[in-house]
Amino acid sequence: MDKKTIIRTLEQIALHMELLGENPFKISAFRKAANTLELDGRSLAEMDDIYELKGIGKSTGTVIQDLIEKGESETLKELERKVPRSMLDMLKIPGLGGKRIAKIREALGIESIEALYEAAKANEISQLPGFGKKTEQNFIEAIEQLNERSDKHPLWLVEKMVKEVEKALNQIEQVKKYEATGSYRRREEESSDLDFIVVTDEPDSVTKQLKELLPIDSIIGSGESKFSFTARFDEYVDVDIRFVTATQFATAIHHFTGSKDHNVKMRQRAKERGEKISEYGVTLKDGTMQTFDTEEQFFNHFDLPFIPPNLRQNGTELEKLDEMERMVKLEHMNSDLHMHTTWSDGAFSIGEMREALKAKGYTHAVITDHSQYLKVANGLTPERLFEQQKEIAASNIDDFLLLSGTEMDILPDGSLDFDDEVLANLDFVIASIHSSFNQKEEEIMHRLHEAMKNPHVDMIAHPTGRVIGKRDGYAINIPQFLQWAKQYHKIVEVNASPYRLDLSVEHLKLAKELGVWIAINTDAHAIDQLDYMELGVLHTQKAYIEREQIVNTWTKEQFLERIVHK
């Protein structure tokens, strides 16, 4: 249990209380406790007694203690039973927080997005105190946009749901092995459903146990070869479990991984040889069925190297085998250049992050906590930044080099959150936008241009500001932005968080053409989020960007020469 999870749980308790219209003082107590932990620069392991912290009372302290000892909170579980799932879904609507939802519920009995939409269309929302015509229209537009993509689930949510199904499958003795397939295995940004291939000799037994282990809302179909159902996780999602034999596994996972275009190209290749591919194997010229122990063997049968799932896109991957050999790979990565610690809104200390980075096999990394403008993230003042630099410098006692940096806000007027004197003393400077997302394109581009002209700025983080499935990003002219990156010799980030994956693949293809420097970074706020690097590499590979263009593949000496000591 890390500090970040405890903070998130306290905030969730406060939110659920707010949705239920509970005592404002109780709600405030839990938010105050969360804020106390957020502002404390120590990690959980470094705190001796939670109750000694100012802002932690008896009720909040008990919840924290339960989380540390049991890994869960009975208080939150009880609140979750009282709050309808449909009310939580209403939080997806911009401008709707717990307090406003509670007001709408009390006045109109509304507990769902659908009911809110009908009330807004009937002009009932604008009649409530504190809600005007503009707010009502914003709700209507936001709900209509949400409905347009409601059949798709963002990758960050799909990953959570996949893990829940995998957790259940791991508990079933009759499951010999399994693989999540479909668009998730290809690491697409969004998926409409979940697909699993399961090897078992007892499908009926597996089905029976899955019914007990998973939150199944309704069953679509059940039989010897397939079990389909709708599950109720954070969102409702359809799940297909296909049962196969061990000999069918390799071709089954290939077939159900897709993409459709990739499978068409593979079938054409087989047809040219007088063969036929199915999920059960490959039918040879003589009519016999050839099966394979692995997908590698399947591809080798057609004189192809193994094509990773993330590259199985539109069929052209079969013609890009040379590019596939040259593209960046996870084992090439020597650094991570964007992460946060307990100095701002991270869950672990500098020392803890340093050890975790060393364990990854990196040679160097940069601590980049938030700057002062981002108060909600406990952003650092110049004075605190100077103190942090001293701690980072003191931690460098071996060959692994930890550098001092910042993720500095580009302010709404285009000015930067730190002056040049502060920036000149840092090893690495990230500039990014965290505010005024609704500005016009010329205003956004002015902000980015001002940052990129500054000689102390090294990189622009999450360049479009998008959050997959939640926010489309601000109005940015990507071709112009990338031209500036080339002109001013700036690094452009691929933010590897499953919430962002920013830049997108299409934008990365343009960056490749221009030869812009790219850095794949985790933006980690906790140690386990350092694992996002793998997803970032898989995402970047879809644009076939080669190793030399990726800053993280540079040696420590190259990074110091080209960036830090430039």
* DSSP β-bridge partners for residue 177: 199
> pLDDT at position 70, please?
87
Indicate the pLDDT class of residue 13, thresholds 50, 70 and 90.
very high
> pLDDT at position 69, please?
87
Mean of the pLDDT values across residues 525-534?
96
Is the torsion defined by CA of 506, 508, 511, 515 positive or negative? negative
Check if the beta carbon of residue 452 is closer than 8 Å to that of residue 423.
no
DSSP string, 128-185: STT--HHHHHHHHHHHHHHHHTTT-EEHHHHHHHHHHHHHHHHT-TT--EEEE-HHHH
Look up residue 36 and give its amino acid. Answer: T
> pLDDT at position 453, please?
98
> pLDDT at position 85, please?
84
Give CATH 1.10.150.110 domain extents, the chain. Answer: 3-148
Give CATH 3.20.20.140 domain extents, the chain. Answer: 330-564
Mean of the pLDDT values across residues 420-425?
98
Query: Does the domain at residues 330-564 carry the CATH identifier 3.20.20.140?
Result: yes
Q: What's the pTM value of the predicted model, to 2 decimals?
A: 0.81
> pLDDT at position 149, please?
60
> pLDDT at position 232, please?
86
Look up residue 488 and give its amino acid. Answer: Y
Q: Higher model confidence: residue 386 or residue 45?
A: 386
Give CATH 3.30.210.10 domain extents, the chain. Answer: 253-319
**Phi, psi of 243, rounded to the nearest 5 degrees:** -95, 130
> pLDDT at position 68, please?
87
> pLDDT at position 147, please?
76
Please give the mean pLDDT across all residues of the chain.
Answer: 94
Indicate the pLDDT class of residue 8, thresholds 50, 70 and 90.
confident
Check if the beta carbon of residue 481 is closer than 8 Å to that of residue 516.
no
Q: Which CATH architecture fits 3-148?
A: Orthogonal Bundle (1.10)
CATH topology of domain 153-244: Beta Polymerase; domain 2 (3.30.460)
CB count, 10 Å around CB of 93?
A: 21
> pLDDT at position 482, please?
99
Indicate the pLDDT class of residue 376, thresholds 50, 70 and 90.
confident
> pLDDT at position 265, please?
97
CB count, 10 Å around CB of 151?
A: 10
Whole-angstrom distance, CA of residue 41 vs CA of residue 343:
5
CATH topology of domain 253-319: Beta Polymerase; domain 3 (3.30.210)
> pLDDT at position 113, please?
93
Among 367, 320, 411, residue whose Cα is nearest residue 521? 367
Check if the beta carbon of residue 6 is closer than 8 Å to that of residue 44.
yes
Mean of the pLDDT values across residues 55-74?
88
Pairing of strands 459-460, 491-495: parallel
Q: Is 340 exposed, middle or buried (0-12, 13-18, 19+ CB in 10 A)?
A: buried
Among 174, 99, 522, residue whose Cα is nearest residue 348? 522
Asked whether residue 148 carries a pLDDT value surpassing 80, the answer given is: no
Tokens linked to 445: 């581009």
Length reported for the chain: 566
Whole-angstrom distance, CA of residue 177 vs CA of residue 160:
20
Mean of the pLDDT values across residues 314-341?
97
> pLDDT at position 150, please?
60
At 119-132, the pLDDT tens digits run: 999 999 999 999 99
